[in-house]
Structures are given as C-alpha cells and as structure tokens.
C-alpha cells in the first residue's frame, strides 16, 4: 500500500506523462479487446447455446471442384450409420414463414430440422418440450412448433400458457410444444431463428426440398464427433462411404464427395463474410498492441532517465535494487490498470460498431458481439502482462545507475546521448514504422471499397424494388402458380410510375446463395476437375429490361415460351465462350436437370455471388416452362423512389388474393449492400484502427520529445543565454525528433511493401502497391510527426535564460 500511495503521488506530479501513457494503453487495449470480442463471438463461438460446440463439425458436399453448402437427406442417412465416428448427424434449412395468431400475422425466420436436432446440440427447453425422436418420419404428419424465447416474450409476453396453443404457420395448423432458450439462435451462424419445425413438415413450412431424392442437395448439415475422433479420422471414413455410394448410385452420386469442416471454415453463415475481415483486423490489432508496447516502454524509459538522480540518492542511502524495481513496477501496473479500465469503457462503445454498420436486410441478423467474462478476463490479463513486461525493462535499467557520475552531475540529467535515449529512439522508430504499415493497409482497403462501389455489376440496381413471395403456403401448385404470377405481373405493370415488372427465383449479390444444376453439352470434352454445375435463375419475360442487363445476342423470353413450346434458355457470355468458343451460341443445345434446352439469347456477364469472383457461367430459364420453385421474387423498375411502392404492392396483392402477403420488400440498392459488406466493414474498421495507430505514433513522438525537452530545460536556457536564437532551438529539437520519424517511415515503407501483398486477394480494383496510397500515407505521417515534434520544440523556445542560469 505504501508503494501504491507513492506511485499515485508520482503519477499525479506528472499529469502530462500520465495522461499520454493511460490514453495510449486505453486506445490499444480498447481496440484489441473489441477485435477479440468479435473473433470470439463470430469465429470461436459461432453457436451460442450449444453444448460442447468444439465437437460440432460441418458436413458439405462437392461435385468435382465445386463446393456445395448442403447435402441430400438420403446421403445424410447413409453417413449416420458411421456411429463409430459420429455421435449423430442433424440436418436443417432456414426459411421465412408467416405465423398467424387470430387475425394478426407476423413474418419470422426459423428452421425445419431433423428430430434429433436439439438433442445432438445439447439444447434444453426453457418451457415445454422439444422434438421427439420420431417427429420427422411421417411427411406432413408432425405439425408441432418450438418457439424461440425472444419471439415468445415479444409476441406472447412470456405467457407459459402458450404450450399447447394452436397457431397458423403458413396457413397450416401447428401446435406449440416448447420454447427454446434465448441463448440458442439456431445453427445458421449470424442469423436469429424464432421457430423450429420438424423436417417432415418441409412442404408446409418451406415449400422446398425432397426427403427422398438423393440428388436434391438442400439441407445444411452438422455432426457431433465421437469422443477422441479427430476431423481427419472422420474425413477418411466418409471418403470411403462416398466412394461406395458413387458405385451404388452412379446416376446421382458421380463425383459427389463429403467434406468434414470445422465451423470456422463453414461455407455458409457469417464466417465466410467476416472471417477474412477479422483475420486482417486481428493482424492490425496485434500491430496496435506492439505500438502501445513501444509507446509505453519509451515513455517509461524517458521518465526513468529523468529520475536518475532520485534513484541514485535512494540507492546511496541504502535502498535495495529489488525495492526500487518493485516501486517502479507498481507505477507501471497502476498505469496499466488505469489504461485497462478506460480501454474496457472504449470497448463497450466500440463493440457495437459491427451492428451499426451492417447493411440493411430483411434477414434477422444476430452477430455475437457482447463483452462477456472471457473478454473481460482477457482484458485484465492483457493489462497486467503489459504493465509487467513493458515496465520491467525500464525498471531494471533505471535501478542500476552510475552512482558516481549521477551524484556528481550538478542538477542536470545526463540522459542526452546515453543508451537510454538510443533505446527510446529505437522504440519510437518502431512505432512510426508499424503505424505506416497499418495506415497503408487501411488506405488500400478504403480505396478498394470506393472502387467496389463503382464496380461494373452487369446490371443497374437504381430505381428497382425487390419483393419476396411465398405462394406455396397458400395452396398454389405449378399450374396455378404460373397463372397467379402472370396476373400479378400484369396488374403491377399497369400501375403509374412503374416502368417494368419481372419475376425471378433469385437475385444477384444478396446474402442468400443461388441454386445450381449440372450442365452437359454434346461435343464438349470435360477437363479433369472441371465443375459442370452452373448457377441458374428462373425468370419471366422482362427480367433483363427490369434489371438493366443487356442482351448481347439473341432475344428475351416471351409469353410464348411455355410448356408447349421449345424448351429454351438464355446464357451469359462466359458460358457461351466456355462451351462454344469462337462460335455463335444461339441455337446450340445443352442439358440441365435432364432437360434439353436451346440457347435463344446471350446476356452480358455480371456479378452474381461476390464482387471479386472470377467470370463464371450462368443461365436463365423461363418460368412458364416449369416453375421449379414457387417462391419467386418480384422486381419492379420505377420512375421515382422505389421504396414508395411497397404499400401499393401490398394493396394489389390483397386485391388479387387476400391470403398472399409479401414477406419482405427492399430496394435493390440496399439488397446488394450485402456484397459490399466485407470491403466496407474492412475499410471502416481499419480506418478506425489506423487512426488509433496514427494517434499512438503521434503520442509516442510527442511524449518522448516533450519529456526530453523538459529534462533539457536548463541546457536550452544556457544555449539561449550564450546567443542561440529561437530558430536554432526549434531546428535542434525538431531535427532530433524528425530524424527518428523519417527513419521509421523508411523502415515502415519496406515493411508495407512486404505486408500489403497479403491483401491482394482481399482488394478490389486496387494494386497492393498503389503509389498514391503509399505517398499519401507517407506524407500524412510525416506531417503528423512534424507537428508532434513542433509542439514541444515551441515550448523549449519559451525557456527564460535567467531562470535557467539561476538554477544552474
């Protein structure tokens, strides 16, 4: 306690030093804690509420070299038999649904899942019960529903009598059997599910998928490994099963393989989007920690150099070196504690930045970014380690001064030109170099985000409104669904302010991935490892005009392209070049889903899944020639603000069929922001961390130069008394500080050239060695360093020579 009281008095005597040290620590610890919280919530703990989730793996299939997100149920049942490897396998699919209670309808997201879903995940009911083992066996025969706690409290005010209550889900009667705890959000990481229904009710809830077809890969699949079984061992077993299935079912399982992945590498959920961003942020935050460490060490060295006389007197009158080190370490730990406390306050504010910056979407996004006990423990331990590690070296150096020379010094410190100053200069040099590397990386990501916003998408998203429909739940089939969609399209096209209306099963650059089908072309020799599966979309006439997709050859679909006409398709430029290089693709044929399609048009290439994807083949089929998916979406091109047409669309739907409702409307400008999420988040967060690094570097330069100036006050007074001008003193101080900064910038440029090449795969339209970015960051850092040197140098010129000589 005596050491603590003395440390408090010492820090209070140097408020400038204390403020700079505490703020440096707070910025560094706050930034690192925030990034650690994101990594823990998104990558390390992707399934909150799941028991021993480290045993859970993701199962995905692939065809040739094309990875698919999903598996088919017959394949899943075969892999379930490997009980020596898997404790169990579950399958599920996310879907929106309309829940009706009385006269009130609410759209919500949930999952249809196998009966062992909750048991395998170790989720216990908050209320009632969960699925029974046989509640996924009889198609359409298990109309039971489990609600999420959040929805239960929001919709039913936490009323326990909801158990046994009958509700309408997609116009089908369901009975509520239980409530799952709020800690469990489902198995689609980043998405909050509000209900779960058995897989046997898939037609009533999702109106998609097959429980019998082996080639219908539509279920997201996870498994729990048996104790002691590694992922590599499981992969070896499933490889053998896949080879056996290929021989048994050559028509459906040719070149189909199963992959056992940890959740970190799952191809769906929030990990593929945020994983690369968080990897970059982790590297940057570690750089910030190093800058903080160098900053704190240089400040403590400067402070120790200024206290050489005090420490020498203490040693001369009998103080032990251990006692002095303990005292100096107490001061360091006190600084670390104050910095860590303020850093936690900063982290509590910064941790919600991901939620504030996520793009608009009808999906119930839920990214785990709460600061928990693990995060707090990390912060406390980090603060203690920082205080000990970077307070120990200055304490050890300060506790062994040359007593003879220090005590003979007539009141001036002799730190100038000493090893202390050289070490401080080296630390500041490292700070500046690291800051330049981080700022260059942030600058490249900012420029990449700007280029992404102006990327050639292959379509025009402005003035387009998208709307999702789920007419399968209203009793429509393929025949009646075609009539409904045609009548709706006609009604909307007649509305004032609407230029064109179209239908599509999938829209580009959203959160949801699109379907794919295997394609075969007569005469095309498939190369080893070449993927024959291509993404496709079912569209109506007018789709290309509505989205502004140019047709470079051939014609658009027409109302005459129905079941009685020739089966046709429109392909994109990449598909035409791949299968018919140097030829006109119009009139050529290919097979997809066991149907032969004739090419009648070629559309311009575009972006489909991501901004930085390579050119990929894509084809479109007319919805009148077989609606494989009743859940089509509407797209309207308007003359004004498209968001103003939402109410009009709802009114027209009610007049056409009062039972059909839109589950979501969104402008296409907002819809495609999902594709910009990674570069935008990276640019914003790296900008934030880059500013932190810049401030820390400036504080490091300023803190060391200012402290050295304060220790050389008498020297400057003597120089001015002997005739030195104000400019001489300014040049002396600024020159010494800028020499270190310039050297740091030089080292930083070399480091940036070595590091930024790692960003090449993440950047869009920007070279990792962009000269403008390197030049702007170098100039900016040099100006900030100059300002950090000028402020204490200006104070040095204010020294009164008379006071300096009197003190001397």
DSSP for 461-521, please give it: -TTEEEEEE-GGGGT--HHHHHHHHHHHHHHHHTSTTEEEEEEES--TTSSSPPPEEEEE-
The low-confidence residues of the chain, meaning pLDDT below 70, are 64-66, 302, 305-308, 318, 368, 393-421, 513, 528-531, 627-629, 711, 803-808
Return the SS3 of 646. helix
In a domain, 476, yes or no: yes
pLDDT on residue 417: 44
Query: Residue 567: what are its φ and ψ, rounded to 5°?
Result: -75, 120
Same domain, 356 and 418: yes
Cα(199)–Cα(135) distance, integer angstroms: 8
For residues 568 and 620, is the Cβ–Cβ distance under 8 A?
no
Decide if 219 contacts 76 (C-beta within 8 A).
Answer: yes
Looking at the structure, tell me whether residues 591 and 705 fall in a common domain.
no
The span from the CA of 330 to the CA of 368, in Å, is 36
Asked if residue 65 is part of any domain, the answer here is yes
Tally of domains in the chain? 3
Q: Which helix (H) or strand (E) holds 803?
A: helix 801-807
User: Are 164 and 300 found together in one domain?
Assistant: no
Q: What is the pLDDT of residue 599?
A: 96
Residue 649 lies in a domain: no
Q: Are 202 and 87 part of one and the same domain?
A: yes
Q: Cβ(557)–Cβ(570) under 8 Å?
A: yes
Task: Convert 73-91 to b/e letters by CB count within 10 Å (16 or more is b).
Answer: bbbbebbbebeebbebbbb
Sign of torsion, CA 266 272 276 282?
negative
Measure the CA dihedral 50/54/59/64, to 10°.
150
Q: Could you tell me the end-to-end alpha-carbon distance of the chain, in angstroms, rounded to an integer?
A: 37
HEC profile for 299-340? Answer: HHHHHHHHCHHHHHHHHHCCCCHHHHHHHHHHHHHHHHHHHH
**Number of neighbours of residue 740 by Cβ within 10 angstroms:** 23
Mark whether 123 and 245 lie in a shared domain. yes
Answer whether residue 797 is part of any domain.
Answer: yes
Based on the domain organization, do 468 and 443 belong to the same domain?
no
**Is residue 185 situated within a structural domain?**
yes
Domain membership of residue 419 as a residue range: 2-41+271-453+676-807
* pTM of the complete model: 0.80
Candidates 488, 451, 452; CA nearest to 471 is 488
Q: What is the pLDDT of residue 413?
A: 45
Give a yes or no: residue 113 inside a domain: yes
Among positive and negative, which fits the CA dihedral 756, 759, 764, 767?
A: positive
CB 521, CB 590: distance < 8 Å: yes
Cβ–Cβ under 8 Å, residues 428 and 296: no
Q: Long-range contacts for 98-102 (Cβ within 8 Å, ≥24 apart)?
A: 98/169, 98/170, 98/171, 98/470, 98/473, 98/661, 98/663, 99/155, 99/167, 99/168, 99/169, 99/195, 100/167, 100/168, 100/169, 100/171, 101/155, 101/167, 101/168
In a shared domain, residues 85 and 164: yes
∠ at Cα 94 (91, 96), nearest 5°? 150
Q: How far is residue 222's CA from residue 267's CA, in Å, rounded to a whole number?
A: 12
622, 640, 658 - which closes a domain:
640
Pair 330, 352 in one domain: yes
Distance CA 263, CA 591 (A): 35
What's residue 805's pLDDT? 63
Q: Is 653 contained in some domain?
A: no
Angle formed by the axes of helices 231-248 and 73-80, to 10°?
A: 120
Which residue(s) pair with 501 in the sheet? 636
What gap in Å lies between CA 457 and CA 31, rounded to an integer?
35
Q: Are 460 and 548 in contact (CB under 8 A)?
A: yes
Q: Which two tokens stand for residue 326?
A: 């303990």
Helix (H, G, I), strand (E, B) or coil at 223: strand
Residue 96, domain member (yes or no): yes
If asked whether residues 285 and 223 sit together in one domain, one would say no
- The answer to whether residues 433 and 492 belong to one domain is no
Q: Are residues 292 and 234 in the same domain?
A: no
Instruction: Read off the DSSP letter of residue 615.
Output: P
User: Among 588, 617, 640, which residue terminates a domain?
Assistant: 640
- The CA-CA-CA angle for residues 790, 793, 797, to 5°, reads 130
CA distance 705 to 711: 10
Asked if 705 and 17 touch (Cβ cutoff 8 Å), the reply is no
Contacts of 674 (CB under 8 A, 6+ apart): 359, 361, 509, 510, 511
- Single out the residue in 640, 666, 698 at which a domain terminates: 640
- Among 28, 110, 513, CA closest to 273: 513
Same domain, 92 and 130: yes
What's the confidence (pLDDT) of residue 571? 96
User: Across-strand partners of 349?
Assistant: none
C-alpha span between 201 and 115 (Å, rounded): 11
Q: Are 592 and 635 in contact (CB under 8 A)?
A: no
């Amino acid at each position: 306690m005596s050491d603590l009281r003395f440390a408090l008095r010492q820090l209070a005597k140097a408020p400038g030093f204390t403020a700079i040290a505490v703020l440096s620590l707070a910025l560094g610890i706050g930034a690192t804690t925030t990034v650690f919280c994101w990594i823990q919530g998104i990558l390390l703990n992707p399934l909150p509420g799941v028991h021993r989730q480290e045993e859970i793996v993701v199962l995905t299939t692939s065809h040739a070299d094309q990875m698919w997100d999903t598996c088919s149920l017959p394949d899943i049942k075969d892999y379930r038999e490997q009980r020596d490897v898997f404790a169990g396998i579950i399958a599920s699919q996310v879907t929106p649904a309309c829940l009706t209670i009385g006269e009130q309808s609410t759209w919500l997201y949930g999952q249809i899942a196998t009966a062992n879903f909750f048991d395998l995940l170790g989720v216990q009911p908050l209320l009632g019960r969960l699925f029974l083992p046989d509640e996924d066996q009889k198609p359409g025969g298990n109309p039971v529903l489990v609600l999420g706690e959040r929805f239960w409290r929001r919709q039913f005010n936490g009323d326990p009598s909801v158990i046994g209550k009958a509700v309408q889900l997609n116009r089908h009667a369901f009975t509520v059997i239980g409530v799952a705890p709020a800690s469990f959000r489902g198995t689609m990481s980043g998405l909050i599910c509000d209900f779960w229904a058995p897989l046997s009710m898939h037609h009533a809830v999702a109106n998609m998928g097959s429980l019998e077809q082996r080639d219908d890969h539509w279920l997201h699949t996870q498994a729990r490994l048996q104790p002691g079984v590694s992922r590599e061992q499981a992969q070896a077993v499933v490889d053998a099963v896949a080879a056996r299935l290929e021989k048994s079912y050559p028509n459906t399982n040719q070149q189909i393989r199963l992959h056992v992945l940890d959740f970190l590498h799952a191809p769906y959920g929030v990990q593929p989007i945020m994983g690369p961003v968080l990897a970059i942020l982790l590297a940057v935050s570690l750089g910030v920690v190093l800058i903080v460490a160098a900053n704190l060490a240089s400040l403590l060295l400067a402070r120790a150099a200024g206290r050489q006389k005090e420490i020498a007197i203490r040693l001369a009158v009998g103080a032990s070196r251990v006692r002095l080190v303990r005292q100096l370490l107490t001061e360091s730990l006190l600084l670390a504690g104050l910095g860590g406390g303020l850093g936690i306050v900063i982290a509590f504010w910064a941790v919600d930045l991901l939620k504030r910056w996520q793009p608009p979407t009808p999906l119930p996004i839920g990214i785990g970014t709460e600061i928990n006990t693990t995060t707090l423990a990390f912060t406390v331990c980090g603060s203690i380690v920082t205080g000990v590690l970077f307070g120990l070296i200055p304490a050890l150096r300060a506790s062994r001064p040359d007593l003879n020379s220090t005590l003979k010094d007539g009141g001036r410190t002799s730190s100038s030109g000493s090893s202390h100053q050289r070490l401080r200069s080296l630390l500041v040099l490292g700070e500046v170099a690291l800051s330049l590397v981080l700022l260059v990386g942030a600058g490249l990501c900012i420029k990449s985000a700007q280029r992404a916003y102006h990327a050639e998408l292959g379509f025009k998203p402005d003035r387009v409104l998208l709307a999702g429909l789920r007419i399968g739940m209203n009793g429509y089939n393929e025949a009646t669904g075609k009539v409904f969609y045609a009548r709706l399209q006609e009604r909307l096209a007649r509305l004032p302010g609407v230029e064109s209306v179209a239908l599509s099963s999938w829209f580009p650059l959203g959160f949801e991935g699109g379907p794919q089908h295997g394609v075969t072309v007569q005469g095309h020799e498939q190369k080893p490892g070449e993927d024959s599966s291509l993404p496709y979309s079912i569209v109506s006439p007018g789709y290309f005009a509505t989205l502004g997709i140019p047709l470079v050859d051939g014609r658009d679909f027409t109302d005459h392209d129905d079941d009685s006409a020739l089966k046709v398709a429109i392909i994109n430029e990449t598909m035409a070049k791949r299968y018919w290089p140097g030829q006109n693709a119009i009139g050529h044929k290919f097979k997809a889903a066991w149907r032969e399609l004739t090419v009648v048009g070629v559309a311009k290439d575009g972006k489909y899944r991501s901004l930085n994807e390579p050119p990929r083949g894509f084809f479109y089929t007319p919805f009148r020639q077989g609606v494989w998916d009743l859940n089509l979406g509407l797209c309207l091109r308007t003359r004004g603000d498209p968001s103003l047409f939402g109410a009009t669309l709802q009114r027209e739907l009610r007049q056409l069929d009062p039972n059909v409702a839109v589950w979501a409307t969104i402008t296409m400008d907002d819809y495609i922001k999902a594709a910009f999420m990674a570069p935008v988040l990276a640019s914003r967060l790296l900008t934030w961390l880059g500013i932190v690094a810049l401030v820390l570097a400036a504080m490091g330069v300023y803190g060391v130069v200012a402290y050295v100036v304060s220790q050389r006050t008498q020297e400057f007074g003597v120089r001015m008394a002997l005739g030195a001008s104000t400019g001489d003193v300014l040049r002396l101080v600024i020159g010494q500080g800028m020499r270190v900064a310039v050297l740091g910038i030089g080292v930083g440029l070399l480091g940036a050239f070595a590091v930024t090449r790692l960003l090449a795969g993440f950047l869009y339209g920007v070279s990792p060695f962009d000269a403008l970015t390197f030049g702007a960051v170098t100039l900016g850092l040099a100006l900030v360093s100059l300002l950090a040197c000028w402020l204490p140098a200006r104070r040095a010129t204010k020294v009164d020579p008379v006071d300096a000589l009197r003190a001397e």
